[in-house]
Amino acid sequence: MKTILLFLILLLSFCSFCQERALPEASWDELPRWRGFNLLDKFSIDWSNGPFKEEDFKMISEMGFNFVRLPMDYRAWINDGDWRSFNESTLKEIDQAVEWGRKYGIHVCINFHRAPGYTVAPPRESRSLWYDSEALEVCSLHWSLFAKRYKGIPNKNLSLISSMNRPESLRMIITMLLKRCAMQSGKKIRKG
């Protein structure tokens, strides 16, 4: 009898790993308490730019965690340094990570650790999205590419909430925006 009971417990435990785990619902005003890890496969083109690994998602799920953050460098998914040209095969590697998240019951948070015109890591971007209109436009292009690509995926499975890594100080951002506004206003005044 004890052997049969032990067998049933083991069988039920195994079956719980086989089933897709349900993630808690998420909304802009109420986020669940996720627990998990950063996966650094596309963190920096200088030292890490490989595809994500299914084994990582499987192991994270088996350990009982339900969250991964993908801090990424936009230079990983552009072609030959052209920030307006996207490498579809690299984007498909990111798509695969999102799919593995769904498969293993893990919420995936996409994070632009380095975005066009913005980073907190060396080397600095040559242009700043806070000062440079083209950098801002290109950063928006990248953000909208991801938003369109993952449209329809439920919030419980995917977030672009952390789309930029640690924004600079609020005082600095306000100062930059005010300068940009003043510069734009000055141009319009000079044009008459």
Instruction: List the domain boundaries for the chain.
Output: 33-191
Spatial contact of 78 and 86, defined as CB atoms under 8 Å apart: yes
Whole-number average pLDDT of the chain: 82
For residue range 59-90, what is the model confidence (pLDDT) as tens digits? 999 999 999 999 999 999 999 999 999 999 99
Contacts of 23 (CB under 8 A, 6+ apart): 32, 66, 105, 106, 107, 156, 157
Q: What is the pLDDT of residue 9?
A: 43
51 has pLDDT over 60: yes
Q: What is the pLDDT of residue 161?
A: 64
Residue 52 CA to residue 66 CA, distance in Å, equals: 16
Listed residue (23, 22, 21) closest to 33, CA to CA: 23
Q: What is the pLDDT of residue 129?
A: 83
Torsion of CA 47, 51, 55, 56, to 10 degrees: 50
The average pLDDT across 47-62 equals 94
Q: Are strands 82-86 and 78-79 parallel, antiparallel or unpaired?
A: antiparallel
The average pLDDT across 27-55 equals 89
Of the two residues 124 and 9, the one the predictor is more confident about is: 124
Find tokens 């993952």 and name the residue. 150
Query: Among the CATH numbers 1.10.10.410, 3.60.20.10, 3.20.20.80, 3.90.1150.10, which is that of 33-191?
Result: 3.20.20.80
DSSP tag of 74: G
58 has pLDDT over 90: yes
The average pLDDT across 104-125 equals 91
